[in-house]
Amino acid sequence: MIRAAVLAGATGAAWVSKDQPGTTSRSAAPVSGFRFRGADISFTLQEEAIGTAVRDAAGVRPIERLLARRGANTVRLRVWVDPLPGTSGLAETLVMARRAHDAGLGIILSLHYSDTWADGKSQPIPKAWRGLDDAALLRTVENYTRKVVGALVKQGTPAHVVQIGNEISRGMLWPAGQVYRSDGEHWSLFAKLLKAGVKGAKTASPDHPPLIMIHTETGGDKDASKYFFDRLVARRVPFDIIGLTYYPFWNGPLTNLETTLHQLVARYGRDVMVAETAYPWTLAQAGEQQNVVRRAEDLPEAGLYPPTPAGQAAYFERLRRVLQQVPGGRCAGFLVWEPGWTPGVRATPEMGNAHANLGLFDWTGQGHPALKVFRA
């Protein structure tokens, strides 16, 4: 997410779904219901470091256990290459993967291939990778991916899904893998970088290779989504799941998402997933950073889903219905983005939390009614 940064980003056993005992979810075949119901909780250690605690009617729990109790079965964890200490590095990811695994949750690994936020507007190459020629960069991407995915396998918390890049409709690892440049479109190296990442992820876990997700921020734009995935398919980039960012305040009404999902399933025969979503429960301001959603007019269906706890819950109920109606049961599920991020944790040293009114907990840590979205 983090578009505020632009607007101001010892076993390889398959995870067994607790909703389908005795079966694994590694097949890309359609299934009824949602294989993945979860949230990106990558800020958790930073939240806990400042004393934040989350709770619902049953009391205070670590966020992964509270979400699991409410029906979630998955977490997404982002990984940066060489970030500031304590902020989404491999060490932090391993800690959270262990905690998620111990809570009975599957893991989706979100590789940003950056030292900081990578999204549709910015894909900064890691500092240590700058100046590499194309061949060296491809090797580096493959080896890095193998190292990170392998580290989770080694500690017995393998990723069920690996996301190669984050919101990459315009490429990744800029400028090398940037698609749109002043002299036209450049897809070749970008596709090779994706293939290198896929190869690294698969070889890190050969006995139980993870599913591969390609993730764009185009959940409300069927034409942009088609344009992007047509070009990946033409270049034979292998992937299992189409992941889409969808925020109504950026991507339009839910009918935009519905149209996009239906088109993608029909065209590519792959599962789709809402890899990021959120909705405001208030328009009040918290902290010094201006909210990304400040007015009811920013919400395309504010009359149906007002920015209140009840309106937030209504949005998520409607989202579930939209996803349940994807043809052939080809919607793999949804991930709520950073439901426990509070105003006390900054996005970067220069920027506070512009998304504090989008979480599933209020600023004291009390859960909202929308937590029921995770039910089976």
- Is 276 noted as a catalytic residue in this protein? yes
Query: Phi-psi bin for 51: left (phi > 0), alpha (psi -120 to 50), beta?
Result: left
Residue 33, SS3?
Answer: coil
Helix-, strand-, coil-residue percentages of the chain, each rounded to 5: 35, 20, 45
SS3 label, residue 183: coil
Element (H, E) at 262: helix 254-268
Classify residue 151 by burial, with Cβ atoms within 10 Å: 0-12, 13-18, 19+. middle
Cβ proximity of 281 and 313 under 8 Å: no
| DSSP structure class, residue 113 | -
| Active-site residue identified among 142, 217, 258, 276 | 276
Active site residue 338: no
With b meaning 16 or more CB within 10 Å and e meaning fewer, what string describes 272-310?
Answer: bbbbbbbbbbbbeebbebebbbbeeebbbbbeebbbebe
CA distances from 352 to 53, 158, 171, 194, 202 (A): 19, 32, 27, 32, 37
Q: One of 47, 64, 142, 167 is an active-site residue; which one?
A: 167
**Residues with catalytic function:** 167, 276
